[in-house]
Structure formats: structure tokens, C-alpha cells
Structure 1
């Protein structure tokens, strides 16, 4: 189960990700800058996104790993920002229906055990007209990129973190929301998707 794996590596998780930060942190900043109103971040991890949030939002954050969340709490305190943290799975969010104006997921759906259930939970807690923002690893548009880059990544990350970078999260988003904007980065290996909750 991913929770135990992330709890074990929490102390050096950021060291593992550091080589990718120069590519991903600008995208994290762009994604969370779009947050408005009462906002939930799913899978906040160690809180690498926290410094990018606008100052005028009401921020909630959940993660399935207690150890990762402890680091995120320390980071929020250092940044001087108020965040309401909860230990929770993306597939079972402890919030009422139609509660958030914005829900953000940053490099999470490659790890979520049940992506469809998690997407349904995002839709449930998001207000009608609210926005879901996804910054996710996805299968690219190039078979060569998938074969030479993503497949080797999966072979390493799946046993270590239950991480599958070959998921088609961008297609799953369309089943639940109306996509307003999609940006493809690095041949579609990473996508930033802004979607509106206006479907029944």
C-alpha cells in the first residue's frame, strides 16, 4: 500500500525529487496560482506547493501519508500560512458535498489506487461551477517517449512508490468535468488541466 511506502521515505522524499524541481516547480506555481475561494489540495505531500498559493484563499490540504503531512505542517508554519490539514485518502474525502470553490491535484493521480473513485470524490466536494485543477504525469502523445522514458520510469517507481506515469488522467478528467484549458509539457508527459464542475 502506498501509505506505508510514503511514510518510510518521507524524510528523504524531497531529495529524490530534487532533480525534477527545476522543471516541475514553475508548473506547480502556475497551477496553484489559479486557486480561488475555499480551496482543497489533494495529496499535498510535503507541501511543495504551499508557497505558491494566493494569500486570500481558505486552504485545506489532505494526504494519505501521516509522515508526509507532518513535513507539510512544518513548512506551512515556516511560511506563516494557515492551512487546515487532514489525513485522508483521495477516494474518501472527509468534507460535505459542494464545499469547495477549487480543488487541486498536483502529481497525485499517478499514485491514487482507485482513480475513478477519487475523481468522483473531487466532483462531489466541488461546488457547481467550481474548478478542478490537475497537474499530472500522463501518457504522452509519443509512443517513443512512452517506451524510452515513461516505461523505464514506471519500472522504477511502481515498486518504490506505487507510481504509474503511464496513466491517462487527462482522459479521465473529461469523464467527470468540462475541460476549459489543457497545457501539455515535455511531449505531454506532464499536463496542466483546468476543468469546470458543470456536469450532472
Structure 2
């Protein structure tokens, strides 16, 4: 096969899959990915209980499950969890984590935009920081509607990671300057400069390249057929607990971002 043919066959979706496969090794080092305190765990539990209620053995699908962070939170609330991710290195870490913790969580290789899961199968679908990466969110939302049971609920936790406010930019600069001057502890490196460049390149070409604003996500959910859609912008308790792992200005920058949870129901 020629180099030209290989480049033509290697598309944006392949780049996204390769990027997250590479990120698996350092994914759990980042506050905001793994859970670093019982306070943060409790804050996530409260978010899920507020929108989904207790698990009570209901079937939950964790899309783009990564190393299983959200899957474990759902399992702790007594959901019967299936994690789905298309990056095998992420799945290896998720399975190892579940084995060490004695959790009966299933993890499988799969595409969040084409799950291959049965119709009307899940009571709940949850994903965190997935929507901004979708190449075709309209098709993905239709797929998620298909695999939910009637009355089933979707919970999206995401944000606009493109458009920053002046306040966020100021806090980020102060955080960077403080680290350079040795006033703050340096953040744990989570990837090479090349990986950072790859992330930026991917972000510039996905559907939400201009930013995954909550209202734009809701519009596509309505078009897909979801109803009873609500936007929850009050993630302050989660952000407060995460901020304990950063310097003051990094924590303030996180709290200044356009982040949200969206709940929607299949009629």
C-alpha cells in the first residue's frame, strides 16, 4: 500500500482514537479525570443522584469510558455498568482498576458513535467530555436514543474548551507565571508537546470546533428526538473539590469555564 493511500485511509476518527490511546498512560494523573478525594467522589455522586436517581440495579452505559472513572462512580451508586471505549490501552487500565477494586464492571471495545448495542437496552447513558470530540454528534445522539429504553435518561457532562473568557485567560496566565517563578507547584506533565499539538489539531476539526456550547448540544438532542432536556450549570461543588489539587489560579480558571451537565429523556 502506498503512503498516499495510507494517508487517505487514516481519517480524523483514526487520529482521535490514536490520540486517546496514547493518552491512556497519563490519563489518571490529571485532576478532573481521576478522582483524587472522597469529597470529589461525593460531589459526583450527588450530580448523578440529582439527575438519574439511585442505580437500584438499572443498566447503565458509560460511553467513552476511558480508564473507568465514571463507570466506578455509577457502580458505587448500584448501577449495573457497561463501559465502552474504542482505545484498547484505556480499556486495559479500566479492567485492571476494576479487578484490583473487586468491581463487577464490564468493559468492551466499541465506538460511541456506533455502539452496536441492542435496541431499547439501557436505562441510563452517561458520558463525560465525549461530546466535544464527536465527528457527527447528530448521528451519535440518534444512536444513543436507539439503545435507551423508553423513559431512559441520557446525562452528558461536557464543556466549551475553545472559547475562553477574559477572566479565565487572566487566571490561567497567573497560574503559569506562578509556576515559572516557583511560587506554585508545577503541574504533572500529561503528554509531550507533540501530543498537545495533536489535541489542538483534532479540536480544530471536530463538529464542535467552535466550542461545544450547551445550547448547541441541546438543539441537536431535540432534533434526535430527546425530550425533557435540562441544562445544569451548577458544577461548583465538583470544581471546588478538584481545585484542591491545583494552585489557586488554576482552580479559579476551571471554575470560570463554560461547563455543564445536560439531562435528556427518551420518550
Under a length normalisation based on structure 2, what TM-score does the superposition of the two structures give? 0.61
- Work out whether 1:167 is the aligned partner of 2:236: no
Determine which structure has the larger helix proportion and give its number: 2
1:110 partner SS: helix
For 1:11, the equivalent position in structure 2 comes to: 25
Q: 1:158 to 1:105 in 2, by over 3 A?
A: farther
Judge conservation of contact 2:41–2:73 (CA < 8 Å) in 1: no
- In structure 2, distance between residues paired with 1:158 and 1:123: 34
- In structure 2, distance between residues paired with 1:24 and 1:189: 19
Alignment partner for residue 92 of structure 2, among 46, 66, 70?
Answer: 70
Deviations 1:125-157 (A, max 9, x none): 0011111111111379x97369949xxxxxx96
Q: Which runs of 5+ in 2 are unaligned?
A: 1-14, 171-194, 204-208, 236-254
Which protein is bigger by CA-based radius of gyration? 2
- In structure 1, distance between residues paired with 2:223 and 2:264: 11
- In structure 1, distance between residues paired with 2:156 and 2:169: 25
CA RMSD of aligned residues (A): 3.3
Alignment partner for residue 121 of structure 2, among 96, 99, 107?
Answer: 99
- In structure 2, distance between residues paired with 1:24 and 1:113: 31
- Work out whether 1:52 is the aligned partner of 2:73: yes
- Please report how far the alpha carbon of residue 159 of structure 1 lies from its aligned counterpart in structure 2 after TM superposition: 2.7
Deviations 1:72-96 (A, max 9, x none): 1111112221112111111111211
For 2:227, the equivalent position in structure 1 comes to: 178
- In structure 2, distance between residues paired with 1:64 and 1:139: 22
Judge conservation of contact 2:122–2:148 (CA < 8 Å) in 1: yes
Q: How does 1:137-152 map to 2 (within 5 A)?
A: 137-138=159-160, 144=165, 148=169
1:18 partner SS: coil
Judge conservation of contact 1:101–1:126 (CA < 8 Å) in 2: yes
- In structure 2, distance between residues paired with 1:181 and 1:84: 29
Residue correspondences, number: 191
Judge conservation of contact 2:165–2:257 (CA < 8 Å) in 1: no
Moved more, 40-49 or 19-28: 19-28
- Please report how far the alpha carbon of residue 103 of structure 1 lies from its aligned counterpart in structure 2 after TM superposition: 0.7
- In structure 2, distance between residues paired with 1:192 and 1:67: 27
For 1:112, the equivalent position in structure 2 comes to: 134
Judge conservation of contact 2:232–2:261 (CA < 8 Å) in 1: yes
Under a length normalisation based on structure 1, what TM-score does the superposition of the two structures give? 0.79
Moved more, 70-79 or 47-56: 47-56
2:84 partner SS: strand
- Please report how far the alpha carbon of residue 30 of structure 1 lies from its aligned counterpart in structure 2 after TM superposition: 3.6
Q: 1:158 to 1:24 in 2, by over 3 A?
A: farther
Q: 1:7 to 1:174 in 2, by over 3 A?
A: same
Determine which structure has the larger strand proportion and give its number: 1
